[in-house]
Amino acid sequence: MNMGYSDNEFDVIVVGAGVMGSSTAYQLAKRGQKTLLLEQFDFLHHRGSSHGESRTIRATYPEDYYFGLVDESYRLWEQAQSEIGFKVYFKAQQFDMGPSDAKSLLSVISTCRKNGIPYQVLDHRQVAERFSGRIDIPEDWIGVSCELGGIIKPTKAVSMFQMLAFKNGACLKDNIKVVSINKDGDRGLKVAASNGEIFWGKKCVVTVGGWMRNLVKTVCGIELPIQPLETNVCYWRIKDGHEVEYAIGNDFPTFASYGHPYIYGTPSLEYPGLIKVAVHGGYQCNPDKRPWGPGLVPDSLKQWVEQRFKGKVDSSKPVMTQLCVYSMTPDEDFVIDFLGGEFGNDVVIGGGFSGHGFKMSPAIGRILADLALIGETKGVELKQFRIARFEENPRGNIKEYEDQVELLKSTL
């Protein structure tokens, strides 16, 4: 513990205790920093993007700049697990599928090639053989099989990072809503909460998910193009006698299906007899005035479940749905940067994770801690994640393939 501090003075204050903030607090505390982790609601709440029972981890991305983050995160998930003594990461292979001319899927293959990720491209017949008839793709589709898949248990993972941060000396406070961050002369940054409490930190890391645009605008007037979406996660009943075939540990993969809509899912794990299959998309929402559903289950998703699993999963309707928030940027890439302006390098932001960041949270926590402490980071090129890219082009990074996330127009 650093000496000479009062109870409300810290080396680094982390605002937002979802997976990104909790991972960052763990990294900072482990490096001996006097760290404060603040959360506006209860810890482990269900109003953001870090709760629930499963997230996929995969190395197969159309963009080649995510591989380093995923690769490091696989190692860091294992390391954090070993420090806490329980598991949050469950191994599986990854299977991507889609029309043989889908640019995004072809881009996945070239990323695998470029990064030396072992993969196999399978045709319709080979897919049926590879998965013993559990997955069926159309004749004009291809499949890409890769060993680097898996499931992360999200709420448990956030809890793990918080426990490890606490174990390393961090101070954790929830139900503290930050309303302002200001420069305060020699005292560094003054962080004020809605209940009147004030904290001081030399540095601040802001990881507030769907609340990022509102808080950053309040703090410095910059309007980041981060739009919250409410997304609907669906669980489907596996028909009698087939439950074991689709369960984790039986060589059944985490999976993604490219095209319209982009669909993803996980083997049966958290709810025995149910498989998670959902559309990667959602409806624009105000994070403080959510519709809370009901969320559409498009016919295209029901058809996909029926056809891909050859009728072995009941596609009439999901037996259960759960809601989650995505924080979308126009290019679906992250925002990891200094706030700049009067704050210079003293305020670091991590947001806009666009429905695909959870798997990389261990590496992102390491990077956000690096940026706060030394003003730079190693092992990853951050230019794709800078705020300035939206000044050059409102759409952000330019890609040669279609968007992955469906923006659904209405909740009715």
**235 CB neighbour count, 10 Å cutoff:** 22
pLDDT of 5 reads 65
pLDDT, tens digit, for every residue of 130-145? Answer: 999 999 999 999 999 9
Is the distance from CB of 199 to CB of 13 less than 8 angstroms?
Answer: yes
Is residue 408 in a domain?
A: no
Is residue 405 in a domain?
A: no
pLDDT, tens digit, for every residue of 323-335? Answer: 999 999 999 999 9
Spatial separation of the C-alpha atoms in residues 312 and 246, rounded to whole Å = 10
Taking 60 as the threshold, does the pLDDT of residue 410 lie above it? no
Is residue 412 in a domain?
A: no
Taking 90 as the threshold, does the pLDDT of residue 296 lie above it? no
If one counts the domains in the chain, the total is 1
pLDDT (average), residues 219-223:
95
pTM higher than 0.85, yes or no?
Answer: yes
Could you list the residue range(s) of the whole structural domain that residue 228 is in? 9-392
Spatial separation of the C-alpha atoms in residues 22 and 165, rounded to whole Å = 7
pLDDT of 387 reads 97
Is residue 48 in a domain?
A: yes
Is residue 199 in a domain?
A: yes
Confidence band of 2 (pLDDT split at 50, 70, 90)? very low
Taking 50 as the threshold, does the pLDDT of residue 298 lie above it? yes
Is residue 399 in a domain?
A: no
CA atoms within a 13 Å half-sphere pointing along the CA-CB vector of 126: 12
Confidence band of 401 (pLDDT split at 50, 70, 90)? confident
pLDDT of 295 reads 82
Is residue 410 in a domain?
A: no
Is residue 110 in a domain?
A: yes
Q: Domain with 126 in it: what CATH number?
A: 3.50.50.60
Taking 70 as the threshold, does the pLDDT of residue 168 lie above it? yes
DSSP state of 59: S
